[in-house]
């Protein structure tokens, strides 16, 4: 059994205030790519821990696999009445780590979806939603993996009509710089620049912003180079940093324009990671 941990994109992200619990109140529009990491579980008789493979496996080689968010999600689900024994789990790590596109949150959510199917736990089970919220602010959105508005910590979700976004060509680019969330949020200047608009998600995103992009650029100026290069490509509808970075994205009016941008950026900056995909 295999499940995709779909890459998360914040089409816009407004930071409204710092909270007393070390989180921030945000307003964001979540969207998801068709591609991402892969989670695979073994058969009923196969037990064991977590094996990590893929292009970015080495980045996680020094971390404790027991404490990996995938295993925390799997153990949390296995503790529910009616769940089975934990199977062997393999994570094919295809997305950069600490990159603002879901990462561990998407991997954990994919493991929950996959094991829930194995054990016959319904997706609407409130215990599953509670587990996702406990694991991290982005995990509930990644569990849904559909266009939604996120308020509060980002886990107060409202589904959005996204037929206009579905299938839209997408290019993700990362300059090869890991960027953890904490320092970026700490660099936010504390200024509330206003709410995120409602209605059509693309229109709201175009009128919006990512308040974490300026502090992320201050830490890694190359993020600005990525956004500028994406924005200069033919057929771009929106170019912006995702989440707390360092990955950036562009939405295009055609797959041909996206593929041209992918080839051009690949020639100009072969050291940058790229993923040509489309929105779910």
Tokens of 203: 């229109």
DSSP SS3 for 214: helix
- On the 0-12 / 13-18 / 19+ scale of CB atoms within 10 A, 61 is exposed
- How far apart are alpha carbons 277 and 257 in whole angstroms? 12
Q: How far apart are the first and last CA of the chain?
A: 21
C-alpha triplet 55, 178, 149: angle, nearest 5°? 95
What residues act catalytically? 8, 138
Name the residue with tokens 């509670």.
130
Q: Which residues pair with 250 in a beta bridge?
A: 171, 239
22: left (phi over 0), alpha (psi -120 to 50) or beta: left
Tokens of 220: 């890694």
Helices (H) and strands (E) in the chain, counts: 9, 10
Helix H or strand E segment including 116: helix 104-119
The H-assigned helical ranges of the chain are 69-78, 104-119, 126-135, 139-144, 181-187, 201-207, 213-219, 222-231, 255-268
CB 273 within 8 A of CB 171: no
């Amino acid at each position: 059994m295999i499940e995709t941990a779909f890459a998360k994109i914040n089409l816009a992200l407004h930071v409204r205030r710092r909270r007393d619990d070390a989180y921030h109140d945000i307003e964001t529009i979540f969207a998801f790519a068709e591609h991402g990491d892969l989670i695979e579980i073994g058969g009923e008789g196969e037990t064991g821990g977590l094996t990590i493979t893929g292009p970015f496996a080495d980045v996680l080689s020094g971390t404790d696999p027991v404490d990996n968010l995938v295993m925390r999600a799997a153990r949390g689900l296995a503790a529910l009445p009616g769940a089975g024994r934990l199977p062997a789990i393999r994570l094919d790590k295809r997305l950069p780590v600490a990159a603002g596109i879901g990462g561990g949150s998407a991997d954990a959510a994919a493991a929950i979806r996959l094991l829930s199917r194995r054990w016959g736990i319904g997706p609407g089970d409130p215990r599953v939603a509670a587990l996702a919220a406990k694991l991290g602010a982005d995990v509930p959105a990644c569990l849904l993996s559909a266009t939604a508005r996120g308020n509060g910590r980002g886990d107060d979700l409202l589904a959005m009509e996204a037929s206009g976004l579905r299938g839209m060509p997408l290019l993700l680019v990362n300059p090869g710089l890991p960027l953890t969330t904490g320092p970026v949020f700490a660099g936010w200047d504390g200024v509330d620049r206003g709410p995120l608009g409602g209605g059509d998600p693309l229109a709201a995103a175009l009128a919006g912003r990512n308040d974490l992009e300026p502090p992320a650029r201050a830490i890694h100026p190359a993020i600005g180079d990525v956004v500028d290069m994406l924005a200069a490509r033919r057929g771009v509808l929106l170019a912006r940093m995702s989440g707390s970075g360092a990955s950036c994205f562009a939405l295009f009016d055609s797959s041909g324009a996206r593929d041209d941008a992918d080839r051009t950026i690949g020639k100009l900056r072969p050291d940058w990671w790229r993923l040509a995909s489309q929105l779910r």
